């Protein structure tokens, strides 16, 4: 598939049934627009691969077509396409499923997600908010893939330094949890207080009850914990 027969403009003139393979072929050559179009077809389960004449599309071909969607996005991201980097990072961070739960159109892969994010963060001039969001996403990918704690903390500190963004606030809260786990309660308190969420409220309640005893602070965070329990959310929330 290294020699594309069509340009994007020519593909748009093709019959709808012929377009997916043409996008796939052009994407293989490194074209970023084709990579985006091809991955969109795969991720929406509009293209499953090619069938041999007189037979159905094999499972191996379906798997290959789906993997190529990621491979071509990554190739384009490495060549400097920001849209391909973001699309690939989002797909591999969350994974994509089809209409049935057991149909996986894109597997979760935190290591691949980090590759996409590194390309995005290193190749492009970003707003502070966008930079914070994607470094935070990298920290979560590192955390979920069980990268060593010091590496995750280093990445979170990079986010925390981007003051004025809500991702900085979230990062400080997670750093507070790490400080709590290591027994550094003095450092944990201001970090945990910076981000109001259930896990942080629980830890502050425990700190002021058991470690740095303060009845007033304990009552404040016990009440906050009970209030947040009514609207329980994930510690890292949605990106």
C-beta of residue 14 within 8 angstroms of C-beta of residue 28: no
> How many whole angstroms separate alpha carbon 215 and alpha carbon 59?
62
Classify residue 176: in a domain, yes or no: no
Number of domains in the chain: 1
C-beta of residue 25 within 8 angstroms of C-beta of residue 7: no
Classify residue 58: in a domain, yes or no: yes
> How many whole angstroms separate alpha carbon 48 and alpha carbon 135?
33
Classify residue 228: in a domain, yes or no: no
Write out the two tokens for 63. Answer: 């798997």
Classify residue 141: in a domain, yes or no: no
> How many whole angstroms separate alpha carbon 117 and alpha carbon 130?
12
> What is the residue-level pLDDT of the chain in tens, covering all 239 positions?
456 789 999 999 999 999 999 999 999 999 999 999 999 999 999 999 999 988 999 999 999 999 999 999 999 999 999 999 999 999 999 999 998 878 999 999 999 999 999 999 998 899 999 999 999 999 999 999 999 999 999 999 999 999 999 999 999 999 999 999 999 999 999 999 999 999 999 999 999 999 999 999 999 999 999 999 988 765 555 66
C-beta of residue 180 within 8 angstroms of C-beta of residue 188: yes
Say what the pTM is.
0.92
CA nearest 194: which of 222, 217, 168, 231? 168
Domain encompassing residue 80 = 1-124
Classify residue 95: in a domain, yes or no: yes
Chain centre to alpha carbon of residue 8: 29
Classify residue 211: in a domain, yes or no: no
């Amino acid at each position: 598939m290294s020699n594309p027969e069509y340009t994007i403009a020519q593909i748009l003139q093709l019959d709808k049934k012929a377009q997916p393979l043409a996008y796939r072929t052009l994407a293989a050559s490194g074209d970023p627009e084709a990579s985006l179009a091809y991955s969109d077809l795969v991720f929406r389960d509009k293209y499953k691969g090619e069938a041999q004449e007189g037979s159905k599309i094999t499972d191996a071909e379906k798997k290959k077509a789906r993997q190529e969607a990621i491979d071509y996005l990554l190739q384009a991201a490495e060549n400097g396409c920001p849209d391909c980097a973001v699309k690939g990072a989002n797909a591999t961070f969350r994974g994509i499923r089809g209409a049935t739960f057991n149909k996986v159109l894109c597997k979760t892969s935190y290591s691949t997600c980090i590759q996409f994010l590194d390309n995005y963060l290193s190749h492009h001039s970003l707003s502070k908010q966008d930079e914070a969001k994607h470094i935070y996403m990298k920290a979560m990918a590192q955390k979920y893939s069980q990268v060593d704690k010091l590496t995750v903390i280093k990445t979170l500190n990079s986010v925390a330094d981007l003051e004025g963004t809500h991702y900085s606030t979230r990062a400080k809260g997670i750093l507070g949890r790490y400080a709590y786990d290591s027994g550094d309660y003095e450092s944990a308190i201001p970090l945990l207080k910076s981000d109001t969420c259930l896990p942080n409220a629980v830890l502050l309640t425990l700190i002021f009850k058991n470690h740095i005893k303060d009845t007033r602070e304990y009552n404040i965070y016990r009440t906050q914990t009970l209030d947040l329990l009514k609207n329980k959310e994930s510690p890292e929330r949605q990106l």
